[in-house]
C-alpha cells in the first residue's frame, strides 16, 4: 500500500483506537452470550450488528479501509444468524474478525496483519455465499479530489459518535491520591492536637479568686469571669471539633473519589476469560458453559493488568486439566457440557476472584509423584497448597493449552506480589476451585496498632483472624522481626494471623488499638524489608512500620518452638465452624492440626499418619464419631464432642475409652484441658 501524503488527526486516532478496543470488547461479550443461547440473543445480535456497522463507517471516515471491509464482511456474516442458530465455523470466523479489527486498529502498519485481514475478509464472504465473486469496488476508494490527501489502506477504529472520551493518566490519579493521603495525615494530626487541647482545658488555671473577705460583688464578678471564660473555651473547642469532623469526612470522600478514578468495569476482564475458555474448549473438542458473576463490579486497573495473564492461564488449566471430554463426562454420569464459573466479588477491604470447574478434580496421586519427597508427609489440603506454588504440572505431556505448571504458579505469585492470598481446593470427580483474595488497594487501611519490645507497629486487620489472651508458645512480635525484647507478660495479647500455609500466632504487649491509617510506601533507598509492606504516620507525627500479615505469619510459623510442632491432633467435624474454632485454639496452644470433614476422611488420615490425639464429632455423614473412636481405641486418645449429648452416648464413648464432651461456647477450653491431661507437652507423635 502506498504511504499517504497526510494521515488522520493523531488526537482523533488516539481516541478512535481506544474506542475500538472498548467496542470490540463489547462485541466479544455479546457474541459469547449469543453463542450460549442467552434469552436476549436477538437484542444482543441487533446491538452487535449496529456496532459492526458503526465500525465500518468510522473506519472509512479516518481512512482505515481494510478494517472497513473487514467490518462489512463481519456484518454480512452476522446477518445470517438472524432467526437461527450459530454455525460453529461462522462463530469462529466472527471471533477472529473481532480480534483482528482490534489488532489492526492498534498496529495499522503491520504488513502481516494486513495480509491476514484480507484473507479473513475473504473467508467471511465465502462463509456467507460460497460462490461469491470479489466485492465491488469500494466507493470510498475512488480517486481523491484534487488537493485531497490520500488515506492509508489499513485497519481502523470508530471515531467518536458523540462527545469525546475523557481519559485520565495513571500518574495523575496517583498524584491526586498522594495529595489526599497527605491531607488525611494532616487531619489525623489535627485530631491529636485537638485531644491535647481538650486535656489542657480540663487542667487550665485562672488567677486566684479574691479572698473570702472581699466584697460579695467582687466575688460574684470573679466567679462570673471564670464561668464565662470556661464556657467560651469549651464552645471554641466544640466548634473546632465539629470543623475537624467535617474536614475528616470531606477528606475521606475525596480519597474515595480519587481511588475511583483508577477503577474500571470488571466486565472486559471477565469477558476475556470467558472467551479464553470458549477458545480452549473449541481447540480441545470439549463443551463448556461459562457462568459469570460480578460483571457489574468495578476493579482497580492495576489489578486488571496484574491478573489478566495469570487468570488466563488458570482458565486454560481449568478447561484442559479439569473438564473431561464429553464421552468421559457422560460415562461418569455428568452432562456432556462442563461448567466453568468465574466469580468476582468485593468483600470489605478485599476483592475475591474464583475460577471453578465441575471437572475431574486434581489428580492427587500424580501431584504426589511429581512433588516427590516434598509431598511425603503432606495431607491432601497441604498437598494442594504445595502444588499451587510448586511450578509443576500433574500432566506428563505439554500441550499448546497447558502442561508446564505455569498457571497455578503464576496466580500464586501475583497474589504474593499484591499482598493477597491464593487458595486451591479440589474434590475428586467434582471439580477444582482456584481462589484469589486481594486487597482493594485503598490508600486508607484499617489496622491494629500494637506494641512489642517498646516499638509500635501497624498490622492490617485483613490478615487477622482474632485477638486472643496471652499464650506462652506464641513468639513475641519484636523477636520475630529480629529486635531485642523482654519476655511477654500475662497482660499481653496473641494475634492469630491468616497465613498462606495455615494460621500462625504472635505475641504483642497489651494496648491493642484499632485505627484507620494512610498507607505510604517505604523510601526507595530502603529497598524491600522483610515482613514490612509500607509505613504510616500516627496522629502526633509518630512514624510506624506497616507490617505484611502474610510474611509475618510465615515468619511466626518458622519461629514456633519445636515442642509445638511435635504434638499432632486430628480434628474431625462436618461443620467448618467447629473445625476452625477447635483448630484455632489448638494451634494457639502449640499443636499441629489436621482437619477432616467426616468420619471416613478421618479413618484415611489415621491409616496414613500418627496423631497424639483425635477430637471428633459424633454425628457425621459416611462414618460417625464412634467409628473414629473405635479406630483410635488402645492407641490414640480420642475426645468425642456432640451438640446432642445423651446418657447412652456417654456410656458408649466410655466403653471405647473416649471422653464425651458437649458442644458449647466453652468447648475449646475444655478440649485443651482434657488434652493436657491425656497428652503431656513433652510427648509427640512418631515421625
Q: Quote the CA–CA distance of 13 and 17 in Å, as a whole number.
A: 6
pLDDT of residue 494: 85
Q: What is the pLDDT of residue 151?
A: 34
Nearest to 316 by CA among 344, 292, 281: 281
Distance separating alpha carbons of residues 638 and 641, to the nearest angstrom:
10
The fold adopted by the segment(s) 444-559 is SH3 type barrels. (2.30.30)
Q: Is the pLDDT of residue 509 over 90?
A: no
- What pLDDT is stored for residue 638 in this prediction? 93
Q: In this predicted model, what pLDDT tens digit does every residue of 424-478 receive, in sequence order? A: 888 888 999 999 988 776 456 778 888 887 788 888 887 788 887 776 678 888 8
104 has a pLDDT exceeding 90: no
Q: How confident is the model at residue 482 (pLDDT cuts 50, 70, 90)?
A: confident
State the sign of the Cα–Cα–Cα–Cα dihedral 79, 83, 89, 92.
positive
626 pLDDT more than 90: yes
pLDDT over 50 at 5, yes or no? no
The pLDDT, as a whole number, for residue 242 is 77
- Contact status, residue 494 vs residue 471, Cβ threshold 8 Å: yes
Q: What is the pLDDT of residue 660?
A: 93
Q: According to CATH, what is the number of the domain 562-678?
A: 3.40.50.2300
pLDDT at position 176: 66
Quick one: cell of 597?
470433614
Adjacent-strand bridge partners of 93: none
Confidence of residue 335 (pLDDT cuts 50, 70, 90): very high
The pairs formed by 667-672 with CB atoms below 8 angstroms and a separation of 24 or more are 667/581, 667/582, 667/641, 668/581, 668/582, 668/584, 668/585, 669/585, 671/582, 671/585, 671/586, 671/615, 671/639, 671/641, 672/585, 672/586, 672/589
Q: Which residues contact 581 (CB under 8 A, 6 or more apart)?
A: 667, 668
Tell whether the model's pLDDT for residue 138 goes beyond 60: no
Mean pLDDT, rounded, for 275-302: 87
Average confidence (pLDDT) over 555-561:
64
416 or 627: which carries more pLDDT confidence? 627
Residue 513 has pLDDT above 60, yes or no: yes
Cα(272)–Cα(98) distance, rounded to whole angstroms? Answer: 12
CA distance 594 to 441: 33
CA dihedral 604, 607, 613, 617 (to 10 degrees): 30
Measured CA to CA, the distance from residue 560 to residue 478 in angstroms comes to 14
Find the mean pLDDT for residues 292-303.
Answer: 84
Q: CB under 8 Å, gap of 24 or more: what pairs does 130-139 form?
A: 135/69, 138/60, 138/65, 138/68, 138/69
pLDDT at 90: 79
Residue pLDDT, tens place only, 226-236 = 777 777 777 77
Sequence length of the chain is: 687
For residue 20, the model assigns a pLDDT of 75
294 phi-psi bin (left φ>0, alpha ψ -120 to 50, beta other) = left
Between 203 and 436, whose confidence is greater? 436
- Going by DSSP bridges, is the β-strand pair 421-427/444-452 parallel, antiparallel, or unpaired? unpaired
For residue 154, name the pLDDT band (cuts at 50, 70, 90).
Answer: very low
Tell me the mean pLDDT in the region 236-248. 76
DSSP result, 482-503: T---PPP-TT-EEEEEEETTEE
Q: Could you tell me the pLDDT band of residue 677, with boundaries at 50, 70 and 90?
A: confident
pLDDT of residue 143 exceeding 50, the answer is: no
- Mean of the per-residue pLDDT values of the chain: 76
pLDDT at 652: 92
Summarised one tens digit per residue, pLDDT across range 17-64 is 776 777 788 888 888 888 887 888 888 888 888 787 777 666 666 677
Q: Percent of the chain at pLDDT above 70?
A: 74
The 3-class secondary structure across 184-216, one letter per residue, is HHHHHHHHHHHHHHHHHHHHCCCCCCCCCCCCH
Q: Tell me which residue has cell 499481653.
A: 492
Three cell numbers written together for 12 = 482523533
From 3.30.565.10, 3.10.20.30, 3.30.300.30, 3.30.70.1560, which CATH number describes the 264-439 domain? 3.30.565.10
pLDDT of 398 strictly over 70: no
Question: How large is the C-alpha radius of gyration of the chain?
Answer: 33
What are the sequence ranges of the domains in the chain? 10-141, 170-261, 264-439, 444-559, 562-678
For the segment 596-621, what is each residue's pLDDT rounded down to a tens digit? 888 888 888 887 778 899 999 998 88
Cell of 475: 513468639
pLDDT at 4 over 50: no
- pLDDT at residue 287 above 50? yes
Q: Which CATH number fits domain 10-141: 3.40.50.2300, 3.30.420.40, 1.20.120.160, 3.40.430.10?
A: 1.20.120.160
Q: Determine the pLDDT at residue 635.
A: 83
In this predicted structure, what is the pLDDT of residue 302? 75
Q: What are phi and psi of 452, to 5 degrees?
A: -150, 130
Structure confidence by residue, pLDDT tens digits, 530-554: 788 888 877 666 788 888 888 888 8
Residue 560 has a pLDDT of: 47
316 and 391 in contact (C-beta within 8 Å)? no
Mention every residue, 6+ apart, whose C-beta is less than 8 A from residue 652. Answer: 626
Quick check: 397 pLDDT over 80?
A: no
| pLDDT for residue 77 is more than 50 | yes
- Three-state SS for 300-367 is EHHHHHHHHHHHHHHHHHHHHHHCCCHHHHHHCCCCCEEEEEEEEEEECCEEEEEEEECCCCCCHHHH
pLDDT grade for 650, boundaries at 50, 70 and 90: very high
Amino acid at each position: 500500500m502506498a504511504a499517504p501524503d497526510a494521515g488522520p488527526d493523531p488526537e482523533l486516532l488516539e481516541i478512535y483506537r481506544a474506542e475500538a478496543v472498548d467496542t470490540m470488547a463489547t462485541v466479544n461479550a455479546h457474541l459469547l452470550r449469543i453463542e450460549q443461547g442467552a434469552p436476549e440473543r436477538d437484542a444482543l445480535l441487533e446491538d452487535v450488528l449496529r456496532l459492526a456497522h458503526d465500525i465500518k463507517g468510522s473506519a472509512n471516515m479516518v481512512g482505515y479501509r481494510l478494517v472497513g471491509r473487514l467490518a462489512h464482511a463481519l456484518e454480512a456474516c452476522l446477518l445470517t444468524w438472524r432467526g437461527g442458530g450459530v454455525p460453529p465455523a461462522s462463530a469462529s470466523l466472527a471471533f477472529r474478525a473481532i480480534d483482528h479489527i482490534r489488532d489492526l486498529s492498534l498496529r495499522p502498519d503491520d504488513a502481516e496483519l494486513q495480509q491476514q485481514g484480507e484473507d479473513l475478509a475473504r473467508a467471511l464472504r465465502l462463509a456467507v455465499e460460497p460462490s461469491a465473486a470479489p466485492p465491488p469496488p469500494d466507493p470510498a476508494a475512488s480517486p481523491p479530489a484534487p488537493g485531497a490527501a490520500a488515506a492509508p489502506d489499513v485497519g481502523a477504529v470508530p471515531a467518536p459518535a458523540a462527545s469525546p472520551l475523557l481519559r485520565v493518566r495513571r500518574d495523575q490519579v496517583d498524584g491526586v491520591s498522594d495529595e489526599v493521603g497527605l491531607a488525611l495525615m494532616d487531619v489525623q494530626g489535627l485530631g491529636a492536637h485537638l485531644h491535647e487541647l481538650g486535656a489542657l482545658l480540663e487542667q487550665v488555671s485562672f488567677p486566684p479568686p479574691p479572698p473570702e473577705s472581699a466584697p460579695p460583688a467582687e466575688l460574684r464578678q470573679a466567679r462570673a469571669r471564670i464561668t464565662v471564660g470556661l464556657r467560651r473555651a469549651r464552645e471554641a473547642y466544640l466548634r473546632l471539633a465539629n470543623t475537624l469532623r467535617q474536614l475528616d469526612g470531606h477528606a475521606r470522600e475525596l480519597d474515595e473519589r480519587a481511588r475511583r478514578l483508577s477503577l474500571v468495569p470488571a466486565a472486559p476482564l471477565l469477558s476475556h476469560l470467558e472467551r479464553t475458555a470458549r477458545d480452549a474448549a473449541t481447540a480441545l473438542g470439549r463443551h463448556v458453559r461459562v457462568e459469570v458473576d460480578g460483571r457489574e463490579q468495578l476493579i482497580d486497573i492495576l489489578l486488571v493488568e496484574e491478573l489478566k495473564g495469570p487468570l488466563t492461564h488458570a482458565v486454560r488449566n481449568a478447561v484442559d486439566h479439569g473438564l473431561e471430554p464429553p464421552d468421559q463426562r457422560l460415562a461418569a454420569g455428568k452432562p456432556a457440557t462442563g461448567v466453568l464459573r468465574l466469580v468476582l466479588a468485593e468483600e470489605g477491604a478485599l476483592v475475591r476472584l474464583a475460577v471453578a470447574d465441575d471437572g475431574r478434580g486434581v489428580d492427587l496421586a500424580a501431584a504426589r509423584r511429581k512433588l516427590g519427597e516434598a509431598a511425603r508427609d503432606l495431607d491432601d489440603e497441604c498437598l494442594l497448597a504445595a502444588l499451587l506454588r510448586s511450578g509443576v504440572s500433574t500432566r506428563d505431556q505439554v500441550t499448546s493449552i497447558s502442561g508446564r505448571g505455569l498457571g497455578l504458579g503464576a496466580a500464586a505469585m501475583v497474589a504474593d506480589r499484591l499482598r493477597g492470598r491464593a487458595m486451591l481446593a479440589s474434590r475428586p470427580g467434582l471439580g477444582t476451585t482456584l481462589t484469589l483474595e486481594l486487597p482493594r488497594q485503598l490508600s486508607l487501611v484499617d489496622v491494629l496498632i500494637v506494641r512489642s519490645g517498646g516499638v509500635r507497629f501497624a498490622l492490617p486487620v485483613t490478615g487477622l483472624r482474632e485477638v486472643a489472651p496471652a499464650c506462652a508458645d506464641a513468639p513475641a512480635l519484636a523477636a520475630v522481626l529480629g529486635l531485642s525484647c523482654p519476655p511477654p507478660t500475662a497482660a499481653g495479647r496473641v494475634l492469630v494471623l491468616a497465613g498462606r500455609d495455615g494460621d500462625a500466632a504472635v505475641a504483642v504487649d497489651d494496648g491493642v488499638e484499632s485505627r484507620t491509617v494512610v498507607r505510604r510506601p517505604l523510601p526507595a533507598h530502603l529497598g524491600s524489608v522483610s515482613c514490612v509492606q509500607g509505613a504510616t504516620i500516627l496522629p502526633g507525627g509518630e512514624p510506624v512500620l506497616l507490617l505484611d500479615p502474610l510474611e509475618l505469619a510465615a515468619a511466626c510459623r518458622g519461629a514456633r518452638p519445636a515442642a509445638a510442632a511435635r504434638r499432632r491432633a486430628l480434628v474431625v467435624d462436618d461443620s467448618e465452624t467447629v473445625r476452625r474454632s477447635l483448630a484455632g485454639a489448638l494451634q494457639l496452644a502449640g499443636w499441629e492440626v489436621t482437619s477432616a470433614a467426616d468420619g471416613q476422611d478421618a479413618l484415611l488420615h489415621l491409616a496414613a499418619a500418627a496423631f497424639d490425639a483425635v477430637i471428633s464429632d459424633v454425628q457425621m455423614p459416611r462414618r460417625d464419631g464412634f467409628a473414629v473412636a473405635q479406630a483410635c481405641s488402645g492407641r490414640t486418645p480420642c475426645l468425642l464432642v456432640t451438640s446432642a449429648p445423651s446418657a447412652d452416648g456417654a456410656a458408649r464413648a466410655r466403653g471405647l475409652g473416649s471422653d464425651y464432651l458437649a458442644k458449647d461456647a466453652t468447648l475449646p477450653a475444655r478440649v485443651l484441658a482434657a488434652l493436657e491431661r491425656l497428652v503431656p507437652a513433652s510427648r509427640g507423635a512418631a515421625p
